[in-house]
A = this chain, B = another copy of it.
Amino acid sequence: MHTPLPIRSSNFSAWYNELVVRADLAENAPVRGCMIIKPYGYAIWEKLQNILDKAFKETGHVNGYFPLLIPKSFLSREASHVEGFAKECAVVTHYRLKIAENGRDIVVDPAAQLEEELIVRPTSEAIIWSTYKNWIQSYRDLPILLNQWCNVVRWEMRPRLFLRTTEFLWQEGHTAHATQTEAEAEALQMLHLYEGIIRDYIAIPVIKGIKTAHERFAGAEMTYTIEVLLQDGKALQLGTSHYLGQRFAKAFDVTFTNQAGLREYVWGTSWGITTRLMGALIMMHSDDDGLVLPPKIAPIQVVIIPIYKTEAERSLVVAQMSLLQAVLITKGISVKLDDRDTRKPGYKFAEYEQKGVPIRIVLGPTDLQNKTVELARRDTKEKITIAMDGLVEQVMGWLEEIQENLYRRALALQQQHTLFVEDYTTFKTLMAGKGGFLFAHWDGTTATEEKIKAETKATIRCIPLDGEEERGSCIYSGKPSKRRVVFARAY
């Protein structure tokens, strides 16, 4: 179990794949492209869910649930929407199995073919806007601020645990508004909300921006995105928030009577964040020894491991540790005491290191005599021995420091690999090498965007929201440009 991981610098991809499995986060399912999220991985996802859900509710959103199966014709109502998703839809065509004529095999019952095929939802705009038509008559029924937590399926040809899976878990917000201004504000609000949580809890700095028309969500007027730069110089899109304008309202004929008594189409947004967040978290902070978790989202913040030889020593050490555990728990710290006697301490050290537990406490008979404990930090590998009565303070201080240190490290990495590039030769060299966020001028055309992608594998991650106007010329075409966009090779 605890053989070393591949080294990041020599094979980042193998390192990631191995780490996800070894840290007990997830594994590949028997169905290609699908994953099994193991309890330790799921516990992190639950923490993220709780944090997000609380923030959604504080901003006035409520949860609901819409069906998994969507009639094919619904998906087709918004033209660019179906175009965007048609290529990756799982299709239900039958509703029954039966025993084959050989009396043994189980086969699809041809008599149970559906009149209209059902699509396993790749996203729920179609089914939700078809419902909003019945829910909305007047401005009094607006806004609708709805969210749902669920699974979606998008058939994936090059799957990767957490980053890209055929089935993934997510939340999808779908809001309906009486005015364009309100819908635009909602889409931006959710983008900022995502950014704040990713920064404050997952210790990841991001760039916020607008997707180009080419990269926009299928059915949106405008897609806002949050982009993160990972240790290998590649970017990952972490969350998107779409201003839908009146497109889905028009596709599903959703109108309302405004305060002036006139019929108008409803304005919409949608926004979502997925289990991909887990991938970012892992790739951002972890090292060659395994996972490194920010304390605020670690299911276990502190692990306590006893050292003993005799059974008598064991009971003394474990009794003292239970006391320490109880004290830490009263401070709101989540502590695991691992007193299994089927595993040696060294095995446990390696296990919790691989699982990224922020702080390890070790206690042995000598410590009992000296009234000391040994503490180790997962992020810096620092190890200290302190007096037992300073434990709570030390642990609380370290938890805070680790959280800050991980953010600082991630920010330094992002800054180090964020470069302003003025010419295409440098651009190509950088993209072929260390990658990074390259801020460059672009002429605004999809043609140029596609050519750059074909030649360098880099895509425009976004037009940054914080960017300033600046005259320049496109690195590819030389045509005039008013602002820089962010390029990167991405997952």
Which residue of the partner chain, among B30, B75, B76, contacts A74 with CB atoms under 8 Å? B30
In angstroms, Cα B72 to Cα A70, docked, is 22
| Docked-complex contact A36 and B66, CB < 8 angstroms | yes
For residue A94, which residues in chain B have a CB less than 8 angstroms away from its CB?
90-91, 93
For residue A95, which residues in chain B have a CB less than 8 angstroms away from its CB?
88-91, 155
Q: List 24 A-B contacts (CB under 8 A).
A: A27-B131, A30-B130, A31-B67, A31-B71, A34-B69, A36-B64, A36-B65, A39-B62, A41-B64, A42-B63, A43-B62, A43-B63, A46-B63, A67-B167, A68-B151, A72-B106, A72-B108, A76-B105, A87-B96, A87-B98, A96-B155, A108-B117, A140-B342, A151-B151
| Docked-complex contact A153 and B64, CB < 8 angstroms | no
Instruction: Convert A77-99 into 0s and 1s, putting 1 for each residue whose CB lies closer than 8 angstroms to a CB of B.
Output: 00000100011111111111111
Does A169 interact with chain B (Cβ within 8 Å)? yes
| Docked-complex contact B91 and A106, CB < 8 angstroms | no
Chain copies in the assembled complex: 2
Which residue of the partner chain, among B35, B65, B130, B146, contacts A169 with CB atoms under 8 Å? B65
Instruction: Convert A25-67 into 0s and 1s, putting 1 for each residue whose CB lies closer than 8 angstroms to a CB of B.
Output: 0010111001111110111011000000000000000111111
In angstroms, Cα B150 to Cα A68, docked, is 11
For residue A96, which residues in chain B have a CB less than 8 angstroms away from its CB?
86-89, 91, 155
Which residue of the partner chain, among B42, B76, B106, B131, contacts A106 with CB atoms under 8 Å? B76
For residue A90, which residues in chain B have a CB less than 8 angstroms away from its CB?
69, 92, 94-95, 118
| Docked-complex contact A30 and B150, CB < 8 angstroms | no
Does A120 interact with chain B (Cβ within 8 Å)? yes
Does A127 interact with chain B (Cβ within 8 Å)? yes
Which residue of the partner chain, among B46, B69, B86, B131, contacts A167 with CB atoms under 8 Å? B69
For residue A36, which residues in chain B have a CB less than 8 angstroms away from its CB?
64-67, 131
Which residues 90-148 of A sit at the B interface, judged by CB distance below 8 A?
Answer: 90-99, 105-106, 108, 117-120, 127, 130-131, 140, 146
In angstroms, Cα B36 to Cα A75, docked, is 17
| Docked-complex contact B66 and A29, CB < 8 angstroms | yes
| Docked-complex contact A98 and B86, CB < 8 angstroms | yes
For residue A70, which residues in chain B have a CB less than 8 angstroms away from its CB?
31
A4 to chain B, nearest CB (A): 22
Most buried by B among A66, A88, A92, A342: A92
For residue A120, which residues in chain B have a CB less than 8 angstroms away from its CB?
68, 92, 120
| Docked-complex contact B97 and A89, CB < 8 angstroms | yes
Knowing A86-B96, A342-B140 touch, does A146 contact B72 (C-beta < 8 A)?
no
In angstroms, Cα B38 to Cα A166, docked, is 27
In angstroms, Cα B61 to Cα A452, docked, is 51
For residue A76, which residues in chain B have a CB less than 8 angstroms away from its CB?
105-106
Knowing A36-B67, A42-B64, A93-B91 touch, does A151 contact B150 (C-beta < 8 A)?
yes
For the complex of A and B, 7 pairs with smallest distance between CB atoms: A39-B62, A34-B67, A37-B65, A86-B97, A91-B94, A95-B155, A29-B67
In angstroms, Cα B116 to Cα A108, docked, is 10
A205 to chain B, nearest CB (A): 29
Most buried by B among A41, A68, A108: A68
A347 to chain B, nearest CB (A): 11
A62 nearest in chain B by CB position: B39
Most buried by B among A65, A120, A130, A150: A65
